[in-house]
Amino acid sequence: MKKLILPLLFVLLMGQNVFAQDLGTLLTNVGPEYAKSYLAPFTTGLGTNLNSGWFGGFDPAGYSKLPFVPHFYVGVKFNAVILQDQDRSFTQDFRTTIPINGTSRDVILRMNDAPTIIGYTSAPMGQVYDASTNAYLGQYATIGGINNSQFMPLVVPHFGFGTLLGTDIMMRFSPGFDMGDYGSFTMFGAALRHSLGGYIKKMPFDVSAQFGYQTMGLKDKYHNKFITGNSMFVNLQFSKNIAIVTIYGGAQYENYSVDVNYTLSVNGYQQGVSFTQTGDNSFRGIAGATVHVGPLHINLDANLGNKFSFSSGIGIGL
């Protein structure tokens, strides 16, 4: 009979309790390569959401000969990305270090259909093999998903001010709100949009260009920041006013990356972990419309890129 070197009690405790912890605490149970596969859909989903919702809602007039035309917008944007089935699990072999009976062992951890952060919430069992001899050593429980869903939402306050020499500014910020099992979320973002109507004559629609940058952080329940993210985007927007409706569309290039930092701490073994991960989305097409009812502005758009997402907003503006 093959002897299980990993203590059975530890495996059972991991399987029963680990998924009840927040994301920052969960990550302390796995190494960097495992964490990269586990977090991949979260990195892409969050980056896609952060770079959504910058079209529509705040729709000041296009190019004007007046140097300053007062406009403002105060509202909320509801962004959501739909992830695919393949984002919910992964199959991979990891070479890692696992403490066994107080001694660090170099092993191969083989995971088959292990959940990502949006996969099933129970802790999966991996197969452990000696890295040198390939001898089977036993099973090892890792971590389950946080939220068993393909739908990743993000709600952010959204502000707009302008227009000065055809340029307006949009801002978003969150001083820190609780995202449940994900942790405490903070962010700040700003974008400048400039109307090109003064340079492109006799166009049947308004044309503008926009550039934006955002930064975010995620803290665990002990208020330690374990994820820091940065994103930027540049886009070209086209819009047309028809009565109380503004139809808009355009194309956007974007990038998003996160720095992940935490301490691997398993069964008395500790190791600092630090890595950078990049989101998959880099280009998207956007189409939508804004309805203006007096000062009330409601918009909805679809975003087609590497991941499909949509954004809606409601706000008060002039």
Residue with tokens 């706000």: 315
B/e letters for 153-183, b = 16+ CB within 10 Å, e = fewer, are ebebebbbbbbeebebbbebebeeeebebbb
pLDDT at 21: 65
Supply the mean pLDDT for the chain: 89
Would you kindly state where each structural domain of the chain is located, as residue ranges? 8-37+87-141, 51-85+150-317
For the segment 23-53, what is each residue's pLDDT rounded down to a tens digit?
A: 999 999 999 999 999 999 999 999 999 999 9
Cα separation, 172 vs 180, in Å, equals: 21
pLDDT at 93: 96
For the segment 139-150, what is each residue's pLDDT rounded down to a tens digit?
A: 989 999 998 888
pLDDT at 159: 98
Average pLDDT over residues 53-81: 93
Burial of 136 (0-12, 13-18, 19+ CB in 10 A): middle
pLDDT at 22: 86
The yes-or-no verdict on residue 137 having pLDDT over 70 is: yes
Q: Which fold is adopted by the domain 51-85+150-317?
A: Porin (2.40.160)
For the segment 184-234, what is each residue's pLDDT rounded down to a tens digit?
A: 899 999 999 999 988 887 788 999 999 999 999 999 888 889 999 999 999
From 53, 111, 36, select the one nearest 279 (Cα to Cα). 36
Residue at 95: amino acid letter: R
The yes-or-no verdict on residue 18 having pLDDT over 60 is: no
pTM above 0.85, yes or no: yes
The yes-or-no verdict on residue 96 having pLDDT over 50 is: yes
From 53, 56, 54, 52, select the one nearest 241 (Cα to Cα). 56
Average pLDDT over residues 111-140: 94
Report yes or no: 247 and 212 within 8 Å, Cβ to Cβ: no
Average pLDDT over residues 106-133: 94
Indicate the pLDDT class of residue 15, thresholds 50, 70 and 90. Answer: very low
Beta-strand ranges (E) seen in the chain are 68-82, 89-100, 103-115, 125-130, 136-141, 151-164, 167-178, 184-195, 206-219, 225-242, 245-266, 269-278, 283-293, 296-305, 308-317
122 by DSSP, 3-state: which? coil
